[in-house]
Chains A and B, each alone.
Chain A
Amino acid sequence: MTHVLVPVAILEGGTVSPGLMNLLGTVDVTVLGYHVLPEQTPPDQARLQYEDHATDALEDLTDEFRTAGGAADSRLVFTHDREQTVERVADEIGANALAISGPTGDVERVLVSLSGDVAVERILSFVAELVGDRDIGVTLFLVTEEEATTQRLESAAERLRRDGISVQTTVVASDSPFEALIDEVPGHDAVIMGEKAPSFRSLVFGEESDRVASASVGPVLVVRSAETLDT
């Protein structure tokens, strides 16, 4: 079964939009409630004070995921380092993808970026699993300057169409893959990309100002690459 990790800053009002919950209704979800502490504060000390409150909030959120359809469980972590925690838990549960929440309504069309050195087959099977037999359209998106790679895009589209998914493709020539992706977002309700995609890190793990970008694109699903799953 496809497994998605959803990190949420549980004590800072972090929530998951109903649109994303519905989108993830076809897969197993682990909600990772985390709280990042300044280094002066031992995680254990913060836990004594915050644990009850955090557990309540996390249980409510996990229940909402169950109501939306999929199997859901939760983990609560107090940490000094968000990135390390997200990667550790993703490894432990063998997550196929991470979901970074962002505002969205009902998801009708998702934007799937195949730019960069990403594991196309993993992304496609994840998309097929996620969409299932629902009426969600897919736009396959590729930033390239070579003619040959557009061939890759067409065979990818064929692969998804065989699963009965409505697919369209967009190829853009640009030397800034990240901006090209952001420009393409209007008309889509969520973005799916590979872990090795350009700018993935700044969207998911970046500084606050970079993550503002993710707020403007709505939810982002990051399909993890095989190498990170193995190590």
Chain B
Amino acid sequence: MSDQPTGTNIEGDAPVVETVVETDEATVTDDAELERTLGLIGGLAIGIGTMIGAGIFVFPGLAGAEVGTAATVSFAVSGVVALLVALPTSELATAMPKSGGGYYFISRGLGTLAGTVVGLSLWLGLVFATAFYLVGLGFYALDALALVGVSVGASPGVIVSALAVLFGIGFTVLNVTGTENAAKLQNGIVALLLSMLVAFLAFGMFDVLGVIGTKPSGGTEADQWAALPILSTAALVFTSYLGFAQVATVAGEMKRPGRNLPVAMIGSVVIVTVMYVLTIFVATSVFDRNQLGQFGETAMVEIGRELLGVGGAFVIVGGGLLATMSSANASILSTSRAIYGVSKDALLPRWASRINLRYGTPHVALGMAGGPIIVLAATREVQLLAEVASFLHLIMYGLICVALVAIRRDEPEWYDPAFRVPGGPAIPVVGAVSSFGLIAFMDPRSIAVGAVVILATAGWYLYYARDVKLRGVL
């Protein structure tokens, strides 16, 4: 292993790598310092804010329709897989607190081929995930219109696509031109959502357990307590957990990374797992499988209406709009950081990380995020988008675990993580097996699309960057 990258890409550019000193408050390079400005709350807001939109507001209807109350187990299984990956990711992130997250660890631990595949599929995986959030947002916006009495006529599907595309364009333009600091807004939205959900869930739990109100109308006879459907539902809803690794994409901007990165990643997974399991329990107790299947993406609105009347429906629609917006926006930001990480290492053209002279924003990377997102959002293929996003992320998660084992085996001198996963290789090995294993339970169509994306990224490596060496480079 060398400490310097070697080789250039097809355009003759070499990776930009230099020796830096990381402190709790800044990254110190030869001539400049990079301030770390994101605190623990900001990190948790990115993790929770990205995750909570999909898991609570889009999936209860879809997952409940598959297996009924057994979907609580599906969400718990997904949460455990996410936790098994969050632990190794935390260790690597504290050892390498840089922009790019999972891509960075894998390119350093496993080399340029794995790095390119993961870096580009992190970008594309985030694109699929964001498109999925936007479609969810479209469905909620449609329900919001219906609630205030606006009729959309005979083709609601087209309206959902149009709304998803419009929001996609809107977020991209806002991120390129907006220079207001939106971080505080994001923190506020997440805090508001969490308190709304806690209140709603507390009421829902009392109701379905028969403490107050009437017994719920949903039956239990249609529940599917079998391993295979539970696991395939877990594979579908895994998209609900994609946010925690996005915390690692901003690792370079996190204050006290040795403490805040693990707490933000593991904490956000634990918090949302509990929220999801409770939400699904309430949802599948209020309605049975068949009813949830009819309600689809916005089943939560009907659950709110059933529990609290029309006021409850309004609360859920408002929450759903906020949650899917915050998920989409946070993901667009992560996407642009993922592109930057790859471009800095000469695996994408250098111009991909150019900064706009007028707004000071990375307009090329944001465009490379927003463009494909808008196209995909127009397809309205909720399940496909969600599963391909999960597929691409799960490949990365599995490889993160492998990278941890590889780096630990011949531990380089610079490797000094503040957080170490206990129990030797057990957790990363189980994490890798379960990440790759979950893919097997996906819809074959999603697996096919995901595999094509992976092959395309490997092809890009062979064409563009096969001479670049990144392994072991700090």
- Please list the residues of chain A having a beta carbon within 8 angstroms of any beta carbon in chain B: 37-51, 54-55, 75-81, 84-85, 88
Q: A38-B179, A38-B181, A41-B360 are in contact. Are A79 and B31 (CB under 8 A)?
A: no
CA gap between A81 and B181 in the complex, in Å:
10
Interchain CA distance A81-B359 in the complex, whole Å: 17
- Residue from A38, A43, A49 within 8 A of B34 (CB atoms): A43
Query: Which residues of chain A are within 8 angstroms of B37 by Cβ–Cβ distance?
Result: 79-81, 84
Say yes or no: A38 contacts B35, CB within 8 Å: no
- Asked if A40 contacts B181 (CB within 8 A), the reply is no
Instruction: Beyond the given A46-B355, A78-B33, A80-B37, please list 9 additional residue pairs across the A-B interface where CB-CB is below 8 A.
Output: A38-B360, A40-B333, A42-B99, A42-B253, A44-B27, A46-B360, A51-B32, A79-B35, A80-B38
Residue from A37, A41, A47 within 8 A of B29 (CB atoms): A47
B84-119, CB under 8 A of A: which get 1 and which 0? Answer: 000000000000001100000000000000000000
Assess whether A43 is in contact with B253, with CB atoms less than 8 Å apart.
Answer: yes
Task: For the complex, give the distance between the alpha carbons of A43 and B359 in Å.
Answer: 14
- Per-residue CB contact flags for chain B residues 12-37 toward chain A (1 = under 8 Å, else 0) read 00001000000001110101111101
B39 to chain A, nearest CB (A): 10
Cβ B33 vs Cβ A41 within 8 A: no
- Does B175 touch A at the CB level, under 8 Å? yes
Q: Is B236 in the interface zone, CB < 8 Å from A?
A: no
What 6 A-B pairs come out closest when comparing CB atoms? A79-B35, A43-B34, A80-B37, A76-B32, A38-B179, A81-B37
* B26 close to A45 (CB less than 8 A): no
**Given A45-B99, A45-B355, A46-B355, A40 and B34 contact (CB-CB distance below 8 Å):** no
Q: Is B290 an interface residue (CB 8 A)?
A: no
Q: Which residues of A contact B348 (CB under 8 A)?
A: none
Contacts of B250 in A (CB 8 A): 42
A40 touches B336 (CB 8 A): yes
State in angstroms the CA–CA spacing of A51 and B33 once bound together.
10
Given A48-B16, A88-B25, decide whether A42 and B35 contact each other with a Cβ distance below 8 A: no
| Residue among A41, A81, A84, A88 making CB contact with B361, cutoff 8 Å | A41
Cα(A47)–Cα(B360), bound, Å: 11
B179: chain A residues at CB < 8 Å are: 38
CB distance from A63 to the nearest CB of B (A): 16
In the complex, the answer to whether A49 meets B354 with C-beta atoms within 8 Å is: yes
Query: Do the beta carbons of A48 and B344 come within 8 Å of each other?
Result: yes
What are 7 A-B interface contacts by the 8 Å CB criterion? A37-B360, A40-B178, A45-B355, A48-B344, A48-B353, A51-B32, A55-B31
Q: Is the CB of A42 within 8 A of B181?
A: no
**Which residue of B is nearest A88, CB measured?**
B25
> Which residues of B are found within 8 Å of A75, using beta-carbon distances?
33
A51 and B31 contacting across the interface, CB-CB below 8 Å? yes
B209 CB-CB contact with A under 8 Å: no
A45-B355, A49-B354, A54-B32 known; A80-B336 Cβ under 8 A? no
**Smallest beta-carbon distance B103→chain A, Å:** 14
Chain B residues contacting A79 (CB-CB under 8 Å) are 34-35, 37
B366 at the interface (CB under 8 A from A): yes
Interface residue B340 (Cβ < 8 Å from any Cβ of A): yes
Residues of A within 8 A of B393 (CB): none
Contact residues in B for A44 (Cβ distance below 8 Å): 27, 34, 98-99, 252, 340, 344
Choose one: B31, B344, B362; the contact of A40 (CB below 8 Å).
Answer: B362
Contact in complex: B178, A38 (CB < 8 Å): yes
Alpha-carbon distance A116/B354, docked complex (angstroms): 48
Closest to B31 in A: A55
Tell me, in angstroms, the Cα distance from A80 to B252 when the chains sit together. Answer: 12
B183 at the interface (CB under 8 A from A): yes
Return A221 CB to nearest CB of chain B, in Å: 24
CA distance A37 to B33 in the complex (A): 13
A77 partner, pick from B33, B253, B333, B354, beta carbons under 8 A: B33
- The reply on B289 being an interface residue by CB < 8 A is no
- Least distance between B141 CB and chain A CB atoms (Å): 24
CB < 8 Å neighbour of A45 from B25, B27, B333, B353? B353
Q: Nearest CB to that of A11 among chain B residues?
A: B360
Asked if B154 is at the interface (CB within 8 A of a chain A CB), the reply is no
Q: What's the least CB distance linking B360 to chain A, in Å?
A: 6
Among the listed A39, A46, A51, A55, which residue makes an inter-chain contact with B183, where contact means beta carbons less than 8 Å apart?
A39
Q: Is B471 an interface residue (CB 8 A)?
A: no
B469 contacts the other chain (CB 8 A)? no
Q: How far is B31's CA from A103's CA once the two chains are assembled, in angstroms?
A: 29
State the CA gap A77–B175 with chains docked (Å). 23
Residues of the B chain whose Cβ atoms lie less than 8 Å from the Cβ of A76: 31-33
Residue B182 interfacial (CB < 8 Å)? yes
- Taking CB atoms and an 8 Å cut-off, the chain B residues in 323-348 that contact chain A are 333, 336-337, 340, 344
Knowing A48-B344, A88-B26 are in contact, say whether A41-B34 is a contact too (CB < 8 A): no
Chain A residues in 8 Å Cβ range of B182: 39
Output the least CB separation between B55 and chain A (Å): 25
Contact residues in A for B180 (Cβ distance below 8 Å): 38
Given contacts A40-B333, A42-B337, A49-B355, contact A80 B181 (CB under 8 A): yes
B99 cross-chain contacts in A, Cβ below 8 A: 42, 44-45
Residues of the A chain whose Cβ atoms lie less than 8 Å from the Cβ of B25: 88
- Contacts known (A44-B27, A45-B353); A85 close to B35, Cβ less than 8 A: yes
Q: Is the CB of A78 within 8 A of B34?
A: yes
